[in-house]
Amino acid sequence: MTIDWEKEVQQREPEMLADLATLIAIDSSRDDEHTTASAPLGTGPRDALLKVLSFGERDGFTTKNIDNLAGRIEYGAGDEALGIFAHMDVVPAGDGWTTEPFKLVEQDGKLIGRGTSDDKGPSVAAYYGLKIVRDLGLPLSKKVQLIFGTDEESGWAGLNRYQETEKMPDFGFSPDAEFPIINGEKGITDLTIQFPTLAQSTAAALTLESFTAGLRSNMVPQNATAVITGTADFTAEFDAFLTANPVTGQLKQTADQITVTINGKVAHSMAPEDGINAATYLAAFLADLALDQAGKAYVTLIKDYFHQADRGQHLNIAHTDDIMGDLTASPDLFHYQAGKTPDLLLNVRYPKGIDAATIIENIQQTLATYQVKITASAHSMTPHYVSPDDPLVATLLSVFEARTGKPGHQAVVGGGTYGRLLKRGVAFGALFDETKNVMHQANEYTLKADFLKATAIYAQAIYELAK
- The confidence score (pLDDT) of residue 305 equals 98
Asked if pLDDT for residue 201 goes beyond 80, the answer is: no
Determine the 3-state secondary structure of 97 from DSSP. Answer: coil
- The confidence score (pLDDT) of residue 286 equals 98
What mean pLDDT is reported for the chain?
96
In percent, the amount of the chain with pLDDT more than 90 equals: 91
Instruction: Say which range, 72-86, 200-214, 263-277, 397-411, has the weakest mean pLDDT.
Output: 200-214
pTM: 0.79
- The confidence score (pLDDT) of residue 254 equals 87
* Average pLDDT rounded to a whole number, residues 113-124: 98
Q: Which of 262, 365, 278 is nearest to 316 (CA)?
A: 365
- The confidence score (pLDDT) of residue 454 equals 98
Does residue 419 share a domain with residue 327?
A: no
- The confidence score (pLDDT) of residue 202 equals 75
Does residue 102 share a domain with residue 66?
A: yes
- The confidence score (pLDDT) of residue 36 equals 96
Does residue 123 share a domain with residue 35?
A: yes
Helix, strand, coil tally for the chain in percent (to 5): 35, 25, 40
Q: When comparing pLDDT for 365 and 381, which is higher?
A: 365
Asked if pLDDT for residue 446 goes beyond 90, the answer is: yes
- Give the residue from 352, 376, 400 where a domain finishes: 376
Asked if pLDDT for residue 126 goes beyond 90, the answer is: yes
* Average pLDDT rounded to a whole number, residues 370-384: 92
- The confidence score (pLDDT) of residue 379 equals 79
- The confidence score (pLDDT) of residue 266 equals 93
* Average pLDDT rounded to a whole number, residues 441-456: 97
Buried b vs exposed e over 197-221: b needs ≥16 C-beta within 10 Å?
Answer: ebeebeebebbbbbbbbbbbbbbbb
Does residue 204 share a domain with residue 173?
A: no
Catalytic (active-site) positions: 89, 152
- The confidence score (pLDDT) of residue 448 equals 98
* Average pLDDT rounded to a whole number, residues 62-85: 98
d(CA 285, CA 38) in angstroms, rounded, equals: 46
- The confidence score (pLDDT) of residue 137 equals 97
- The confidence score (pLDDT) of residue 127 equals 98
- Give the residue from 358, 376, 394 where a domain finishes: 376
Domain count, the chain: 2
Q: State which residues form the domain around 83.
A: 5-185+383-466
- The confidence score (pLDDT) of residue 231 equals 86
Find the CATH number of the domain harbouring 18: 3.40.630.10
- Give the residue from 329, 357, 376 where a domain finishes: 376
Asked if pLDDT for residue 16 goes beyond 90, the answer is: yes
* Average pLDDT rounded to a whole number, residues 30-48: 96
- Model pLDDT for residues 232-270, shown as the tens digit of each residue: 899 999 999 999 999 999 999 988 899 999 999 999 899
Does residue 270 share a domain with residue 145?
A: no
Do residues 322 and 185 touch, judged by C-beta distance below 8 A? no
Does residue 26 share a domain with residue 66?
A: yes
- The confidence score (pLDDT) of residue 119 equals 96
* Average pLDDT rounded to a whole number, residues 64-70: 98
Does residue 218 share a domain with residue 144?
A: no
Distances (CA, A) of 229 to 248, 294, 327: 22, 14, 38
Does residue 107 share a domain with residue 60?
A: yes
Q: Would you give the distance in Å from CA 11 to the centre of its chain?
A: 32
